[in-house]
Amino acid sequence: MNDLSLTWWEVSIAAVLLVINGGMSWWLRLGLGQKIAISAIRMAVQLALLGLVLKQIFALSSFGPIMLLATAMTIIAGFSAVSRIENRYASIRITTIISVWASSWLVTAVMIGLIVRPDPWYSPQVVIPLLGMVLGNSLTGISLGIDRYIGDLKSKRGEIEMRLSLGATRWEATSGVFATAARTAMIPILNTMSVTGIVSIPGMMTGQLLAGAPPIQAVKYQIMIMFVIAAAIAMGVIAALLLSYQKLTTKDHQLYVK
């Protein structure tokens, strides 16, 4: 088995490629130089910090700090879901945090308790990366779904109120919009599932192969994580849309979007 671990010196060779890009941008006056520099430095600093945090937490390997990190990751995911939503309402952060939390932690619990079964069960090397992957995908689905839902409630207000004024319940009047939003949120993961392995080898599988795992083992992990991610997105989106529905319609069967 080759030793494939990298030194910082080796990483900097990759950085030179980016510097060449920056030079070309300057030469062609694309105005991208500054953006490339900022994004690259930001990414490097964020990941370096993450590495330090993970190093500490892996070394401690005790329950409290792992839970604290997992909680922090979840709340950040809830907030960043909102930042991608153009159409908002007052308590939207509560909606995204609850739905990201419930869906991601539930499927991660299933993954850890029934599928991967690390020992101890809270092993940070397993829990943190798996939770991170689920969170990242779940928040994308949730923000897509909510954005479409609120946008459609606004743009189809006349039609929805027409249904209400002819005796529809708030659910009957808005269920079409709900279904469209849920479908919209699921499209990216469905697309990913159908092209995975044809166009590219997914990141997690690449990582396992580089780490020397047998291909079939890496494939099993990748399939499992795809199933779990799709389930987390579906659950998170439905929770987020149901909470939004409660907020944007009233018990008096009225539409309440500003």
Partner 1 sequence: MTFAIIEAINVTRRDDKTERIILDSASLSVNAGESVGLIGPSGSGKSSMLRSLARLDPVLVGCIRFQGTAITGNAIPAFRRQVAYLSQRPFLIEGTVEQNVSLPFSFASATGSFNRQTAIELLGVLGRRESILDQDAMTLSGGEQQSVALVRAMLIEPAVLLLDEPTASLDTPATQRFENLANIWKLADADRTWIWTSHDADQVARMTSRTVQMLDGKIVNE
| Residues lying near partner 1 in the complex (CB under 8 A) | 158-159, 161-169, 172, 250-256, 258
Nearer to partner 1, 51 or 159 (CB): 159
Nearer to partner 1, 69 or 160 (CB): 160
Q: Is 249 helix (H, G, I), strand (E, B) or coil?
A: strand
Q: Is 84 helix (H, G, I), strand (E, B) or coil?
A: coil
d(CA 60, CA 58): 6
Q: Could you tell me the smallest distance in angstroms from the CB atom of residue 150 to partner 1?
A: 14
Cα dihedral 66, 78, 227, 193 sign: negative
Nearer to partner 1, 151 or 207 (CB): 151
Chain centroid to Cα 110, Å, comes to: 18
Q: Could you tell me the smallest distance in angstroms from the CB atom of residue 175 to partner 1?
A: 11
Nearer to partner 1, 148 or 156 (CB): 156
Nearer to partner 1, 108 or 249 (CB): 249
Residue with tokens 């020397």: 212
Q: Could you tell me the smallest distance in angstroms from the CB atom of residue 180 to partner 1?
A: 13
Nearer to partner 1, 89 or 227 (CB): 89
Answer yes or no: are the C-beta atoms of 132 and 108 closer than 8 Å: no
d(CA 2, CA 205): 18
Residue type at 144? L
Residue with tokens 């599932």: 193
Residue with tokens 């606004």: 154
Q: Could you tell me the smallest distance in angstroms from the CB atom of residue 173 to partner 1?
A: 9
Of 187, 94, 73, 105, nearest to 140 (Cα)? Answer: 187
d(CA 94, CA 255): 20
